[in-house]
């Protein structure tokens, strides 16, 4: 069985519903893994955008999940700016990530035809396992 010492969860702070993070935290707890919660901000957001700081990501996570899920869990919060897939893959390489986890929101056929979703771009770019969690 694989051991996942370092898991990366790519969080989208723009989504109102990020229930997939609960699954990611439970998975990290199950495997006794360190979980890196990484947000990639749009490069057009400007300097000193509120989500350019790790504490903004940590606050959003604490507001979203039950406090007990974070107890005795090794969590690293990180932010980056740029293309989401490229930044996630770079972070994964730099931090010896064993598994990437992403949430997936179902989009209409028209939307899917016109735009690539971040989760699909990450799957295409990453050279390691990616676990996709459907958002409710």
What residue spans define the domains of the chain? 6-134
Q: pLDDT tens digit string along 13-61? A: 877 777 889 999 999 999 999 999 999 987 776 555 555 688 889 998 9
Residue 70 clears pLDDT 90, i.e. is over it: yes
Query: Bigger pLDDT: 93 or 16?
Result: 93
**CATH T-level fold of 6-134:** Rossmann fold (3.40.50)
**What is the rounded average pLDDT of the residues 73-84?**
93
3-state SS class at 1: coil
Phi and psi of 114, rounded to 5°?
-85, -30
Tell me the C-alpha distance between 6 and 104, whole Å: 21
Secondary structure in 3-state letters for 5-74: CEEEEEECCCCCCCCHHHHHHHHHHHCCCEEEEEEEECHHHCCCCHHHCHHHHHHHHHHHCCHHHHCCCC
């Amino acid at each position: 069985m694989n051991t996942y010492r370092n898991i990366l969860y790519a969080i989208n702070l723009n989504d109102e519903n990020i229930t997939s993070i609960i699954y990611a935290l439970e998975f990290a707890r199950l495997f006794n893994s360190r979980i890196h919660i990484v947000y990639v901000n749009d490069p057009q957001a400007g300097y000193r955008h509120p989500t350019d700081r790790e504490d903004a990501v940590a606050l959003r996570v604490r507001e979203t999940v039950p406090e007990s899920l974070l107890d005795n869990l090794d969590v690293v919060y990180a932010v980056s700016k740029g293309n989401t897939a490229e930044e996630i893959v770079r972070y994964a390489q730099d931090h010896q990530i064993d598994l990437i986890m992403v949430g997936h929101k179902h989009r209409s056929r028209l939307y899917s035809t016109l735009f690539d979703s971040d989760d699909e771009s990450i799957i295409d770019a990453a050279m390691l396992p990616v676990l996709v969690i459907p958002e409710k």
